Structure 1
Amino acid sequence: MDVVDQLGAMREGKMSRRAFTRSLLASGVAIASVPVGARRAMAAAEDQGTYFTWGGYDIPELFQPYNEANGELPNFAVFGGSEEALTKMRGGFVVDVSHPCNSALPRWVKTGLFQSIDTSRLSNWPDVMPELVDLPGNMAEGNDIWMAPFDWGQTSITYRTDLIDLEGEEESWDILWDPKYKGKLGSLGAGADAWWIGAIKAGVPFDQLDTPEAFEKIAAVMREQRPLIRTYTDDNTTLEQALSSGEMVASMTWNSSAVQLQAEGVPVKFAKPKEGALTWVCGLMVHKDAPKLDKAYEIIDSLISVESGKFLIGDYGYGHSNKKAFDEFDEETLTGLGLSKNPIEILQAGHFQIPQTQEWETKMNEMFEQIKAGF
């Protein structure tokens, strides 16, 4: 199949964006970043809804029910971090459904840009795990909710087991601060992950983040790490390729990177740091001016379906909000993925993000960008 055929297959939903990208790279074809506006224009027909999401979720495998009902995929717009997404929507970018995480939820609600979700319009809602719905700031008036939970998981370290020798020591966040790996370490590029990891490294409890002392401690460890990092990026594929080639020996990643690399035969492991991993729940919110409200509910219903859950668990290694999706896997498989049918077991085993104020978020992002720039 040549590049033109592959592009057609991707647009028709027969080939995932991830598979398409890997195929091009294997053929020596360079990939250029496409602006959000261009992505939207190139996507599905104008009568479809628009889903604003993280890179890697704009794939056909998560939209089988939607595709079957509409004959096409939704439009996709991609962001690198939730603060970037919120800034664009505050600036007038209107979508149908967006994909924040629990730490951003109260701030997103406070903007007034979103409408509560009428769960009676979702056929899969009865199978959504209630533990994932019960998040700070998620209940709206009339027993509706602001965010329908979709995926949950961890941020930890994916490392090459053949290139890092722990010498009998426990796995630790110290790997990403080890001078002997200078220039061979990677990190997610958004403060929404990296700054919180810095807090774990600095020993700052999440309920004490918003103090001058906490900022100083976290900034100090992030500055200590800066000379060691080869790449800061929110493009998972970039991190995975560098780990696969051996260009990097370890990187901060989400669950999916380790699962993808293991499936390709790359000797990696998703660490269980002795200090604890970062844990999170992400979900789906409806814009108050959603142009295609009916399609918005179809997008959400597709994402919380068993079909999408089976893919998300099996191929990405993330937890899913539909409890029936876990019935597709035996306990041994789930344990191997670091998952459980009881999400609280996983979420409470790590450090669960606590929502912060917009002022804190702005200050944190400004500080982290300065540190990444070498200041």
Structure 2
Amino acid sequence: MDIKDQLGSMRAGEISRRTFTRNLLAAGVGITAAPLATRKAMAAAGDQATFFTWGGYDIPELFVPYKEKNGELPNFSIFGGSEEALTKMRGGFVVDVSHPCNSGLPRWVQSGLFQPIDTSRLTNWGDVMPELVSLPGNDADAGNVWLAPFDWGQTSITYRTDLFEVEGEESWDMLWDERYSGRLGSLASGGDAWWCGAIKAGVPMDQIHTDEAFEKIAAVMREQRPLLRTYTDDTTTLEQALASGEMVAAMTWNSSATVLKAEGVPVKFASPKEGALTWVCGLMIHKDAPNIDKAYEVIDSLLSVDSGKFMINDYGYGHSNNKSFEQFDAETLAGLGLSDTPADILGAGHFQVPQTQEWETKMNTVFEEIKAGF
């Protein structure tokens, strides 16, 4: 089966993303041979819901209950960062369900583009971890749930243990290591990279909004820029580059290390001495959702135990359904760097603090300038 055939099979749900990735790596396919932008548009019938999400969540494994009920997968539209997504929807792009994270939640609610979630319409809601519902800006105490928590995890460094020599403890300094200039990579979204730069610069999360902090972070990001091989929103690009040895370390989410380990690539997801970046992401319904019933079916599918089992086992992410963790023993969870108590993981890192729209705009503008070399 050639690459195009395998890609078609993955879109149709006949093979998993893990199998597809393993076959690419086994064939020695480099990062330019199979651009994963082709994952960004799975075909579905016109009357299906549209899910606006990050790359990697547009896969059949997360929508088994939805497909069983509707005969098709949802439609997918992919964004590279939550600010990009919000800007596009402010410009008139209407979807059914979108997938922001905790740092943007208050701004998303204040945009007026979303409706509260009627949790009585979700069969899996009773198993959702309450501590993930009570996020700043979710207004759960007032009876409004704007965001149904779905996934949670960390942003850290995935590195090749056979190619990267760690000096002392694991640290964010690894992504500023001049020994590996041109062999380092980073996520392209400021929603990850800028915050990780704050940790590197020693800026506390509750001070990230200050002018002094802004200049400190900008300085370390400019220092890093010439050392990087690439910024990308496509995690598979980073994974393939790490697998081939073109990169020796990259800023990633949990999933990249989990996928690569499963394929036998010698990598580790670092536990930086300064702490990792931690986050919770979830699901929101557009106020003008054209397929409201199927919007709830999308959310219910993502909150299901089956989806949670996949997220934990294949991506190494935490899931919001308590029962998902019952599918794993404590040793397995520890090996994935997870716990069935989110506070154990989220509290051990640097949890993002929501910022104003003005700050987000300024941060993204400056970060784009830095990425461009200015």
CA contact (8 A) 1:62 1:311 kept: yes
Write the deviation string for residues 334-364 of structure 1: whole angstroms up to 9, x where unpaired.
Answer: 0010000100010000000000000000000
How far does residue 224 in structure 1 lie from its aligned partner after superposition? 0.8
Q: How is 1:27-38 mapped onto 2 (pairs within 5 angstroms)?
A: 30-32=33-35, 34=37
Corresponding residue for residue 291 of structure 2: 292
Q: What is the TM-score normalised by the length of structure 1? A: 0.94
Corresponding residue for residue 234 of structure 1: 233
The 3-state SS of whatever aligns with 1:275 is: coil
Q: Which amino acid aligns with 2:146?
A: W
Q: How is 1:174-213 mapped onto 2 (pairs within 5 angstroms)?
A: 174-213=173-212
- In the alignment, the residues of structure 2 paired with residue 245 and residue 258 of structure 1 have an alpha-carbon distance, to the nearest angstrom, of 14
Q: Which amino acid aligns with 1:320?
A: H
How far does residue 3 in structure 1 lie from its aligned partner after superposition? 5.3
- In the alignment, the residues of structure 2 paired with residue 332 and residue 22 of structure 1 have an alpha-carbon distance, to the nearest angstrom, of 25
Q: Which amino acid aligns with 1:31?
A: A
Q: Which amino acid aligns with 1:103?
A: S
CA contact (8 A) 1:127 1:322 kept: yes
- In the alignment, the residues of structure 2 paired with residue 262 and residue 30 of structure 1 have an alpha-carbon distance, to the nearest angstrom, of 22
Q: Which amino acid aligns with 1:111?
A: S
Decide whether aligned partners of structure 1 residues 174 and 8 sit closer, same or farther in structure 2, where only a CA change above 3 A counts.
closer
The 3-state SS of whatever aligns with 2:326 is: helix
- In the alignment, the residues of structure 2 paired with residue 33 and residue 333 of structure 1 have an alpha-carbon distance, to the nearest angstrom, of 30
- In the alignment, the residues of structure 1 paired with residue 340 and residue 10 of structure 2 have an alpha-carbon distance, to the nearest angstrom, of 32
Q: How is 1:36-51 mapped onto 2 (pairs within 5 angstroms)?
A: 43-51=43-51
* Larger CA deviation: 278-287 vs 19-28: 19-28
- In the alignment, the residues of structure 2 paired with residue 17 and residue 332 of structure 1 have an alpha-carbon distance, to the nearest angstrom, of 25
Q: Which amino acid aligns with 2:206?
A: D
Q: Which amino acid aligns with 1:82?
A: S
- In the alignment, the residues of structure 2 paired with residue 27 and residue 44 of structure 1 have an alpha-carbon distance, to the nearest angstrom, of 31
Q: Does 1:138 align with 2:138?
A: yes
* Larger CA deviation: 82-91 vs 132-141: 132-141
How far does residue 212 in structure 1 lie from its aligned partner after superposition? 1.3
Q: How is 1:215-234 mapped onto 2 (pairs within 5 angstroms)?
A: 215-234=214-233
Write the deviation string for residues 147-171 of structure 1: whole angstroms up to 9, x where unpaired.
Answer: 000000000000111112224x111
CA contact (8 A) 2:36 2:234 kept: no
Corresponding residue for residue 341 of structure 1: 340
Decide whether aligned partners of structure 1 residues 247 and 27 sit closer, same or farther in structure 2, where only a CA change above 3 A counts.
closer
How far does residue 32 in structure 1 lie from its aligned partner after superposition? 4.6
Q: Which amino acid aligns with 1:355?
A: P
Corresponding residue for residue 114 of structure 1: 114
Which 5+ residue runs of structure 1 have no aligned equivalent?
A: none
- In the alignment, the residues of structure 2 paired with residue 164 and residue 198 of structure 1 have an alpha-carbon distance, to the nearest angstrom, of 20
Corresponding residue for residue 268 of structure 2: 269
CA contact (8 A) 1:12 1:72 kept: no
CA contact (8 A) 2:134 2:140 kept: no
How far does residue 5 in structure 1 lie from its aligned partner after superposition? 4.7
CA contact (8 A) 2:11 2:59 kept: no
How far does residue 228 in structure 1 lie from its aligned partner after superposition? 0.6
Q: Which amino acid aligns with 2:201?
A: A
The 3-state SS of whatever aligns with 1:149 is: strand
Q: Which amino acid aligns with 1:240?
A: E
Q: Does 1:96 align with 2:99?
A: no
Corresponding residue for residue 250 of structure 1: 249
Q: Which amino acid aligns with 1:284?
A: L
CA contact (8 A) 1:185 1:249 kept: yes
- In the alignment, the residues of structure 2 paired with residue 18 and residue 51 of structure 1 have an alpha-carbon distance, to the nearest angstrom, of 22
Decide whether aligned partners of structure 1 residues 348 and 259 sit closer, same or farther in structure 2, where only a CA change above 3 A counts.
same
The 3-state SS of whatever aligns with 1:328 is: coil
- In the alignment, the residues of structure 2 paired with residue 207 and residue 142 of structure 1 have an alpha-carbon distance, to the nearest angstrom, of 25
CA contact (8 A) 2:138 2:145 kept: yes
- In the alignment, the residues of structure 2 paired with residue 232 and residue 210 of structure 1 have an alpha-carbon distance, to the nearest angstrom, of 24
CA contact (8 A) 1:119 1:144 kept: no
Corresponding residue for residue 67 of structure 2: 67
- In the alignment, the residues of structure 2 paired with residue 22 and residue 359 of structure 1 have an alpha-carbon distance, to the nearest angstrom, of 43
* Larger CA deviation: 354-363 vs 135-144: 135-144
- In the alignment, the residues of structure 1 paired with residue 142 and residue 202 of structure 2 have an alpha-carbon distance, to the nearest angstrom, of 40
CA contact (8 A) 2:148 2:284 kept: yes
Write the deviation string for residues 68-112 of structure 1: whole angstroms up to 9, x where unpaired.
Answer: 111111111111110111111111111100000000000111110
How far does residue 141 in structure 1 lie from its aligned partner after superposition? 8.5
Give the root-mean-square deviation of aligned CA atoms. Answer: 1.9
- In the alignment, the residues of structure 2 paired with residue 359 and residue 307 of structure 1 have an alpha-carbon distance, to the nearest angstrom, of 39
Q: How is 1:132-171 mapped onto 2 (pairs within 5 angstroms)?
A: 132-139=132-139, 143-167=143-167, 169-171=168-170
Q: Which amino acid aligns with 1:201?
A: K
Write the deviation string for residues 110-166 of structure 1: whole angstroms up to 9, x where unpaired.
Answer: 110000000000000000000100100102686130000000000000011111222
- In the alignment, the residues of structure 1 paired with residue 258 and residue 38 of structure 2 have an alpha-carbon distance, to the nearest angstrom, of 28
Write the deviation string for residues 29-84 of structure 1: whole angstroms up to 9, x where unpaired.
Answer: 93356599xx55x5200111110100000000001111111111111111111011
Corresponding residue for residue 128 of structure 2: 128
- In the alignment, the residues of structure 2 paired with residue 278 and residue 10 of structure 1 have an alpha-carbon distance, to the nearest angstrom, of 31
How far does residue 16 in structure 1 lie from its aligned partner after superposition? 3.6
Q: Does 1:307 align with 2:328?
A: no
- In the alignment, the residues of structure 2 paired with residue 209 and residue 32 of structure 1 have an alpha-carbon distance, to the nearest angstrom, of 35
CA contact (8 A) 2:169 2:272 kept: yes
Q: Would you say how many aligned residue pairs link Structure 1 and Structure 2? A: 371
Q: Which amino acid aligns with 2:116?
A: S
CA contact (8 A) 1:185 1:231 kept: yes
